[in-house]
Amino acid sequence: MSAQSNAPIIIKRVKKGGGEGHHGGAWKVAYADFVTAMMAFFMLMWLLNATTEKQRKGIADYFSPTIPVMRASGGGDGAFGGDSVFTDETMAHTGHGGVPNPAVDEENDSAQGGRNVDAATEQQVLEEIEEVLTGNSGESMASDLARRHVVTELTDAGLVIELFDLEGEPLFGPEDAEPTPVMRDLVEMLTAVLDLVRNGIAVEGYVAAQPVVMAHNTAWELSGDRASRVRKMLETAGVAPERLQRVTGHADRNPAARNPMAVRNNRIELVLLRSKR
């Protein structure tokens, strides 16, 4: 055997470099923040597109630190912060704990029965009454059956509360001013709502158009008679007569439905008038 065959075998291991090593996970935190911000942005864009102006105002008010804080409260966590909509002569969230001040009320009440308050406060009060009627706040003074006959709208004149006929569920007898049980329930409920404020009230009657073949069109008389009947019902239920500023019959003018003869046009509008300034 030669000398070369007895030479030791040498194995050379080459260790390759591992680069610059791991730098940590800080980039992951930054990326997660970016993804969260993008998700919040798209959520905001979706909310702006999917909500109404009124709903957006409610969301903004919830996060606004300038909302008046009630100085006196029952401590409840409901929609009215401890107040009840049935509390005698109170209005929730007025900034005064819902407790009326007789001295201020006597000084500020106008001759028309309205309360001389600033426009922002009055707007807030009217909006809260609207929520009480529609149930948007989670609580409603109207039953589900009665609420089907009620729509509300805030206008420059005030809060319009519209009571209207449904198919098979009229508010008055056919061609007369005799209220049905549904109408009586609505007036009873509205009396409690109207008692929450001192604003003046207007009552306006509308009826559906009558066929042209009728010998005598009674739309004017019928709308006026129904408005007058509602006025008497409100007074009998406890609404102060001096708060009722006007009672008007509009016949078949200004129909609510496209079809002038639709039962939807048979309606009574109660307007909580804004205070004159």
Beta strands in 82-239 (DSSP E): 150-154, 158-164, 201-206
Q: Are residues 232 and 157 in the same domain?
A: yes
CB 262, CB 255: distance < 8 Å: yes
Q: Are residues 61 and 164 in the same domain?
A: no
Q: Are residues 210 and 137 in the same domain?
A: yes
Question: Which residues form the domain of 185?
Answer: 112-273
Residue 92 lies in a domain: no
Residue 53 lies in a domain: yes
Residue 41 lies in a domain: yes
Residue 156 carries which side chain, given as an amino acid letter? D
Last residue of a domain, one of 36, 67, 98: 67
Q: In 3-state terms, what secondary structure has residue 246?
A: strand
Beta strands in 155-222 (DSSP E): 158-164, 201-206
User: What Cα–Cα distance (Å) separates residue 15 from each residue in 12, 18, 94, 101?
Assistant: 10, 9, 79, 90
- Percent helix, strand, coil in the chain, to 5, is 40, 15, 50
CA distance 247 to 160: 14
CB 89, CB 195: distance < 8 Å: yes
Residue 2 lies in a domain: no
- Reading the chain (277 residues) residue by residue, the pLDDT tens digits are 555 566 777 777 766 655 555 556 788 888 999 999 999 998 888 888 887 777 777 777 776 654 443 433 444 444 444 444 444 444 443 333 333 433 334 444 444 444 445 788 888 888 888 887 876 554 555 566 677 899 999 999 999 999 999 999 999 998 899 999 999 999 998 999 899 899 999 999 999 998 876 678 899 999 999 999 999 999 999 999 999 999 999 999 999 999 999 999 999 999 999 987 6
Q: Are residues 132 and 34 in the same domain?
A: no
Q: Are residues 127 and 51 in the same domain?
A: no
